[in-house]
Amino acid sequence: MGRLLSFRPDPPYWGERLDAVLAAHGCYASRSAAARAVEEGRVTVSGKTVAKKHAVQATDFIVYEADEEAAPLRVCGEPIPLDIRFEDDEVIVLSKQAGLICHPAADHPDGTLVNALVYHCGADHLCNVQGEDDRLGIVHRLDGDTSGLMLAAKTNEAGEALMQAIREKAVERRYLALVHGVIGPDTGMVDAPIDRSLRDRTRRCVREAPSARESITTFRVLERFDAEPGDDGYTLIDCKLFTGRTHQIRVHMEYTRHPLVGDPMYTSGAPKAPRASLGLARQFLHSFTLGFEHPETGEYLEFFDELPEDLQTALDGLAPRSMGKTPFWDETFAPGLAQKTASDSDVAAEGGRA
């Protein structure tokens, strides 16, 4: 028998199905797992067993039997290619390929970025600042199908310093995103709290709730593209994160009714025609700028990354429909950017500092 735990539902959960609330509250790994626990009599509400569709009330006192914790994952090194742009004794800057999950979990125990880092550095030469052996080196994450620049740390001191810099919004993180629809203003800010969805624990959503966390994204329009039959036109934007919530840009742009092109999860407001996804098998989102103060030397380092082939091909296909570039295009892609990107890679290959 597992541990018995309990809670009283917060107001946002009132009126929701019991199995959905249990999953959203993190009591079980999924809604189906929560439903099974209710059906097996492992959950009581105010001392009584109820149906999984029971509508949770403000006065309910929910007691549930927690699943047995799985044995800790032992992470082994795997020879997964890493596109390293900079490396020294404290820090690694790399460009993560789409499809590479950052760290192991129950549904993907291996083949992750952490496995690649362990193979490259050795487990003893990676930070462990998150207190979990399956997250060695990790100080922040990118979604599995988001590509581009990210940081990893080799020492706990470097990892803690970088995580603190991220919390203090001292790390410059900018993303290129192609969204559905033509955005009118050249700039915008989305300041909307993000929380887990009550209906699907894998999704996030904008909502006001005690458990929701402050989330701020700003964007600048770089180029707009005319609409054609089957789509609403497109807008290429440069997004900047001021917080780092799971799926933040994807959730915020869906919230504005301009979801990311190719996104399989956050689709509200996206055209139904398959061709509107421009042939992409993942969201058009790429971490193209990363800037931070080196935790040991204090030197400010900045890196730039070009679009990968799949995203560049989709963007090139829209060229005949361009409505023109905004002034922010030249500011974002300043002369010499491509040269600087290439030189960053050269320095990294030589093992020096950019």
Q: Which residues are catalytic?
A: 143
Q: Which residues, other chains included, contact 221 with Cβ-Cβ below 8 Å and sequence gap of 6+?
A: 183, 185, 186, 187, 235, 236, 237, 326, 328
Separation in Å, CA 335 to CA 172, 313, 338, 339, 340: 20, 22, 8, 9, 9
Please enumerate in sequence order all residues whose Cβ is within 8 A of that of 321, keeping only pairs 6 or more positions apart, or say none.
Answer: 225, 226, 228, 233, 234
CA distances in angstroms from 248 to 25, 111, 194, 306, listed in the order given? 20, 24, 8, 22
Q: Let me know the angle formed at the C-alpha of 207 by 205 and 213, rounded to the nearest 5 degrees.
A: 85
**DSSP labels, 47-59:** TB---TT-B--TT
Which of these, 283, 260, 293, lies nearest to 151 by C-alpha position?
Answer: 293
DSSP state of 267: -
Neighbouring-strand partners of residue 302: 291
Nearest Cα to 17, choosing from 3, 38, 2?
38
Helix (H) or strand (E) holding 332: helix 327-332
Strand partners, 326: none
Smallest CA-to-CA distance from 151 within 247, 306, 290 is with: 290
Q: H-helix or E-strand containing 20? A: helix 18-24
Q: What is the three-class DSSP state of 86?
A: strand
CA distance 176 to 174: 7
Ramachandran bin of 181, using left for φ above 0, alpha for ψ from -120 to 50, beta for the remaining angles: left
